[in-house]
Chain A
């Protein structure tokens, strides 16, 4: 057996069912023994497209985390954090005690929320032409151009549109990040589309519990502001503060 580690917390934190404590350096790691073959790299790689299997592990991970969070502040670890032995977990706690304590202080009484910025392809394309004058100029030029020239211009338009879209996306993300920082007592980590392997960019917000209503208000305000450009802001949470746990 090897150990699947869910989270790190303070000593004497209440334990969920089927979860063991490993103590070290005044801290506790919350672990469950798992089969070392089932959780070996080759087996995981082989099953990594199996959403049902992954979903079961994710569901278990999430319910343990929810239960742990009811008992107080914990540092959540991502899924598939595995250690070989109890001794290695204990050693890890002792070795990183100061760092873990700093993180616990930082996230005490706070929760993580995610604002994902989604772009509707067609409506965002139209909005871009309004934002960037050179794009609409090219579109007009194409309409009256001879077929050969129009073909080349269309290719140029495609390239310029991609570039403009990237830049405008970044600008929108920066504006939203800034609005959150200006209006709310919070820490923010923005993740670009690049960072997210091509998925929509998102902004992770570490927020005190009593600021939640103000985040909802700000979300509605920004949704109205950007909605006409085909931008949807998906607000989800509260999540365990994975982004701020290191």
Chain B
């Protein structure tokens, strides 16, 4: 992840967004008494994956 290596935005987003969370379709607003929010980004991910999939053909 150093600057010298040209990792594209899409590659980056593909790593930054956790599909595990997304697949579960969760928008967990609080777990027990811990106010932890994981936000699902289903639509974006579908997009990013689609571009990564087709962009290299």
Contacts and interface: CB of A to CB of B under 8 A. Distances in A.
Interface residues of B, number: 39
Given A41-B27, A58-B12, A196-B49, A85 B1 contact: no
Given A78-B21, A118-B56, A199-B49, A41 B39 contact: yes
A240 to B, nearest CB: 6
A69 B34 CA distance: 27
Interface residues of A, number: 48
A82 B39 CA distance: 8
Interface in B15-57: 15-19, 21-23, 27, 33-39, 41-47, 49-50, 52-53, 56-57
A48 interface: yes
A121 interface: yes
A58 B43 contact: no
Looking at chain A's contact residues, the main secondary structure is mixed
Interface of A: 2, 39, 41, 44-45, 48-49, 51, 54-55, 58-59, 61-62, 65-66, 69, 78-85, 88, 91-92, 95, 114, 118, 120-121, 191, 195-200, 232, 234, 236-240, 242
Contacts, number: 111
Interface of B: 1-3, 5, 7, 9, 11-19, 21-23, 27, 33-39, 41-47, 49-50, 52-53, 56-57
Given A78-B18, A88-B34, A240-B15, 9 more contacts: A41-B37, A48-B43, A51-B47, A83-B35, A114-B15, A121-B57, A199-B50, A200-B53, A234-B56
